[in-house]
């Protein structure tokens, strides 16, 4: 694969677009008769949810949450603070959490427990990326974009110290950059 201004390109923009289209078709079929609300997790999922939304052909609302997990971006602690809550109620609605990447699973595990307590009609997860090797808690991911190896990635909304979100592809960080200092 070709090098990029960051590290090695892991997933090209063409592959991302193709997979997002597939996920959109699958979600459209599954939610044809439902009351879908997609909940984007700020800030990393912004690019993904924007593309996913446009690949749907069912009615859908979107809302956003921002959370910060204590610890470095590389190793989340599982203790999560809500920085921005949903604007609207999800009680009785069909909620799909849209995440950028599931690493240990601790953030998502917290989010699912928090949102389930609000009595949605259903609660599922769509994650663009997942790193199965790093999982510390089992979280049910209904829709997965790509499984990736245990490496720190940026681009397509994902950052390192707030940089690289604009890249149209997903790339590895170069080896000389310490991933430990990043943020959500």
Residue ranges in contact with ligand 5GP by CB under 6 A: 44, 69, 73, 76, 99-108, 152-154, 158-160, 182, 184
Q: How far is the CB of 45 from ligand 5GP (least distance, A)?
A: 8
- β-strand pairing of 143-147 with 153-154: unpaired
Q: With contact defined as beta carbons under 8 Å apart, do 80 and 108 qualify?
A: no
Identify which of residues 4 and 76 has a Cβ nearer to ligand 5GP in the complex.
Answer: 76
Q: How far is the CB of 156 from ligand 5GP (least distance, A)?
A: 10
**How many C-beta atoms surround the C-beta of residue 19 within 10 A?**
17
Q: With contact defined as beta carbons under 8 Å apart, do 97 and 41 qualify?
A: yes
Q: How far is the CB of 36 from ligand 5GP (least distance, A)?
A: 22
Spot the catalytic one: 94, 100, 103, 159. Answer: 103
Cα–Cα dist 44/47, whole Å: 7
CB within 8 Å of 175: residues ≥ 6 apart:
7
Identify which of residues 28 and 144 has a Cβ nearer to ligand 5GP in the complex.
Answer: 144
Identify which of residues 12 and 68 has a Cβ nearer to ligand 5GP in the complex.
Answer: 68
103 is annotated as an active-site residue: yes
Residues with catalytic annotation? 103
């Amino acid at each position: 694969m070709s090098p990029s201004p960051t590290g090695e390109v892991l997933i090209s923009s063409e592959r991302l677009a193709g997979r997002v289209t597939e996920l959109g078709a699958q979600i459209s079929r599954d939610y044809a008769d439902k009351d879908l609300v997609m909940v984007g997790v700020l800030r990393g999922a912004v690019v993904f949810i924007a593309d996913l939304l446009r690949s749907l052909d069912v009615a859908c609302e979107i809302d956003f949450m921002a959370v910060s997990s204590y610890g470095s971006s590389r190793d989340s602690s599982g203790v999560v603070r809500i920085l921005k809550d949903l604007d609207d109620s999800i009680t009785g609605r069909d909620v799909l959490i849209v995440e950028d990447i599931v690493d240990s699973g601790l953030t998502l595990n917290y989010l699912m427990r928090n949102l389930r307590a609000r009595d949605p009609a259903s609660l599922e997860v769509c994650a663009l990326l997942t790193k199965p090797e790093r999982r510390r808690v089992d979280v049910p991911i209904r829709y997965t974009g790509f499984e990736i190896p245990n490496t720190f990635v940026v681009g397509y909304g994902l950052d390192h110290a707030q940089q690289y979100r604009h890249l149209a592809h997903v790339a590895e960080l170069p080896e000389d950059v310490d991933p430990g200092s990043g943020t959500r």
